[in-house]
Amino acid sequence: MATLAFDSLVEPVSAGSACGPDLDAAGDADFLGFAATAEGMLPASFFSFDPSAVDLGGAIATGLGLVDRTKDVRLLLLLGKLALLKRDVAGFSACVAAAARLMTDHWEEINPRGEDGDFLMRMAPLYTLDDMAPVLLPLQYAPLVEAGRLGTLSFRAHLVASGEVKARDGEQMPDAGTIERILLEADLGALIATRDALAALQGGLAGLRSVAVAMAGFEQAVRLERLPPLVDRMLALLDDAVGRRDPGAALGAPVAGEAEPDAPEEGDDTPASAAPAARPAGRINSQGEAAAALAAALGYFERFEPSSPAILLVRQASQLIGKNLFEVMQILVPGHAEAARIHVGGEPAFTVAVSRLAAASPPLDVAAALPPIETRQAAVGLLDQVAGYYRAAEPSSPIPLLIDRAKLLSSRDFAGLLKDILPEAALKTMKAGG
* Torsion angle of the four alpha carbons 373, 375, 379, 385, in this order, in degrees rounded to the nearest 10: -100
Measured at the CA of 101, the angle between CA 98 and CA 104, to 5 degrees, comes to: 150
Q: Are 174 and 161 in contact (CB under 8 A)?
A: yes
Residue 129 scores a pLDDT above 50:
yes
Find the helix or strand (DSSP H, E) in which 204 lies. helix 188-216
Q: Which neighbouring-strand residues pair with 342?
A: 352
Could you tell me the pLDDT band of residue 262, with boundaries at 50, 70 and 90? Answer: very low
Residue 431 and residue 434: Cα distance in Å, rounded? Answer: 7
String of DSSP letters for 375-433: SHHHHHHHHHHHHHHHHHH-TT-SHHHHHHHHHHHHT--HHHHHHHHS-HHHHHHHHTT
Residue 139 and residue 231: Cα distance in Å, rounded? Answer: 9
Give the other-Cβ count within 10 Å of 120's Cβ.
12
Residue 179 and residue 238: Cα distance in Å, rounded? Answer: 11
Q: Are 221 and 212 in contact (CB under 8 A)?
A: yes
Percent of the chain with pLDDT over 90: 45
Q: For the segment 141-166, what is each residue's pLDDT rounded down to a tens digit? A: 999 999 999 999 999 999 998 888 88
Q: For the chain, state the CA radius of gyration.
A: 26
| Coil/strand/helix, residue 104 | helix
Residue 315 makes CB contacts below 8 A (sequence gap 6+) with 298
Cis ω before 247 (30° cut-off from 0):
no
Average pLDDT over residues 267-287: 46
Which pTM was predicted? 0.65
Poorest-confidence range of 55-69, 136-150, 201-215, 402-416? 402-416
Q: What are the CA-CA distances from residue 434 to residues 414, 417, 421, 427, 430 (Å)?
A: 18, 19, 18, 10, 5
Q: How far apart are the first and last CA of the chain?
A: 65
Backbone angles phi, psi at 254, to 5 degrees: -65, 140
Tell me which amino acid residue 66 is: L
| Coil/strand/helix, residue 143 | strand
Nearest Cα residue to 395 out of 104, 154, 181: 181
Measured at the CA of 138, the angle between CA 156 and CA 143, to 5 degrees, comes to: 60
Q: Which neighbouring-strand residues pair with 28?
A: none
Residue 279 scores a pLDDT above 50:
no
Q: For the segment 317-328, what is each residue's pLDDT rounded down to a tens digit? A: 888 888 888 888
Q: Which string of b and e fits 376-394 if b means at least 16 CB within 10 Å?
A: bebbbbbbbbbbbbbbbee
Residue 395 scores a pLDDT above 90:
no
Q: Are 208 and 126 in contact (CB under 8 A)?
A: yes
Q: Are 222 and 212 in contact (CB under 8 A)?
A: yes
Backbone angles phi, psi at 313, to 5 degrees: -75, -40
Q: Are 249 and 159 in contact (CB under 8 A)?
A: no
Q: Which string of b and e fits 40-68 if b means at least 16 CB within 10 Å?
A: ebbbeebeebeeeebebeebbebbbebbe
| Coil/strand/helix, residue 346 | coil
In terms of C-beta density within 10 A (0-12 exposed, 13-18 middle, 19 or more buried), how is residue 115 classed?
exposed
Which of 165 and 344 is assigned the larger pLDDT? 165
Tell me which amino acid residue 322 is: G
Average pLDDT over residues 216-229: 88
Poorest-confidence range of 183-197, 259-273, 342-356, 390-404? 259-273
Could you state, in order of their start, the residue ranges of all structural domains in the chain?
A: 6-249, 284-322+364-431
